[in-house]
């Protein structure tokens, strides 16, 4: 097997694992987020959000590597589906800023063994953002498959 093909397979594998982890973190955050959380749940949520950020970074890095290893940058940069995929990825990233900032603000509380308090409006907003992010993430593979399989 050619060296390039081996790298292509390995990088594709990491791309998929990172995507699975990305979605798993979002789902985990959504399931854990409650108006009346325990301290342990709040801490797990904070850790999940760090893993979420790492997963997103790996998705991006392996995505860029795949552009090079699969069909070359020019192919993807001229493909509408790639631009939609990238836009979805950026929108998910921008949406995640608000929950991440909130979870970071909980740090003082969780360090001092206090359960972070959320006003009901903030809880609803974070819950809705996580739902929208998950929905966009489920739409994204459609455009990935499109750019991989058809040249228009
Ligand atoms: C929103 C998160 C993402 C999801 C859910 C996702 C999903 C996928 C899937 C399912 C495939 C396989 C497509 C197929 O072979 O049918 C794929 C391939 C690929 N993805 Fe991602 N991806 C994401 C983000 C990215 C980003 C941000 C980039 C680039 C910066 C990227 C670049 C690529 C490339 C170049 C391929 C290979 C396409 C080919 O075989 O020609 N992906 N992605």
- Rounded CA-CA distance 96/112 in Å is 25
Residue of minimum CA distance from atom 16 in ligand 1: 145
pTM of structure: 0.95
Nearest CA residue ID for atom 43, ligand 1? 144
Residue 17 Cα distances to 10, 22, 151, angstroms: 11, 8, 26
How do residues 62-88 score in pLDDT, each as one tens digit?
A: 999 999 999 999 999 999 999 999 999
Domain count, the chain: 1
User: Ligand 1, atom 17: nearest CA belongs to which residue?
Assistant: 144
Tell me the residue range of the domain where 53 lies.
3-149
| Per-residue model confidence as pLDDT tens digits over 18-31 | 999 999 999 999 99
Q: Does residue 10 line the site of ligand 1, with CB under 6 A?
A: no
Secondary structure of 114-144 in HEC code, one letter for each residue: CCCCCCHHHHHHHHHHHHHHHHHHHHHHHHH
């Amino acid at each position: 097997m050619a060296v390039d093909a081996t790298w292509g397979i390995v990088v594709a594998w990491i791309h998929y694992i990172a995507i699975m982890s990305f979605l798993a973190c979002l789902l985990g955050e959504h399931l854990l987020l409650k108006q009346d959380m325990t301290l342990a749940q709040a801490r797990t949520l904070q850790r999940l959000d760090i893993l979420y950020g790492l997963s997103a970074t790996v998705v991006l890095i392996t995505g860029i590597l795949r552009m090079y290893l699969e069909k070359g940058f020019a192919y993807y940069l001229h493909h509408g589906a790639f631009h939609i995929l990238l836009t979805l990825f950026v929108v998910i990233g921008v949406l995640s800023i608000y929950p991440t900032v909130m979870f970071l603000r909980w740090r003082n509380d969780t360090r001092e063994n206090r359960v972070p308090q959320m006003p009901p409006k903030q809880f609803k907003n974070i819950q809705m953002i996580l739902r929208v992010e998950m929905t966009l993430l489920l739409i994204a593979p459609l455009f990935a498959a499109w750019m991989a399989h058809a040249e228009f």
